[in-house]
Amino acid sequence: MVWEEISGDAMLESFVLNGPMDADYGERYSLGYFRLKEGAYFTSIIFGVSKKNAADVNNRLPAPVKAEIWQRDGFKTIAFRLV
């Protein structure tokens, strides 16, 4: 395996709205399936999708997103945000 740096640019291909368990982390999030600019597919957290705008976002798929590092309890992970 070889580590590769990614650009952070991706397209949101699909998503699932998350339940109330996400409230402990501050900002609400959903779960998404992404196609990275580099070609690989990735499953992670998506910020900016909620019950209020889910239908609109779904009609725009695939939608552009940008990766960001998200600090969790004792570790960091990659999350994406709608642009």
Per-residue pLDDT for the chain (83 aa), expressed as one digit of tens each?
Answer: 888 888 999 999 999 998 665 555 567 789 999 999 999 999 999 999 988 999 999 999 999 999 999 888 899 989 999 99
Q: What CA–CA distance (Å, rounded) separates 6 from 35?
A: 12
Q: Which two tokens stand for residue 70?
A: 């998200």
32 inside domain: yes
Give the pLDDT of residue 19: 67
The candidate with the shortest Cα–Cα distance to 30, out of 74, 61, 73, is: 61
Cβ–Cβ < 8 Å for 17, 49: yes
Give the pLDDT of residue 15: 96
* Parent domain of 24: 9-82
What domain count does the chain have? 1
Task: Give pTM, 2 decimals.
Answer: 0.86
Give the pLDDT of residue 43: 96
63 inside domain: yes
Give the pLDDT of residue 73: 84
Give the pLDDT of residue 67: 96
2 inside domain: no
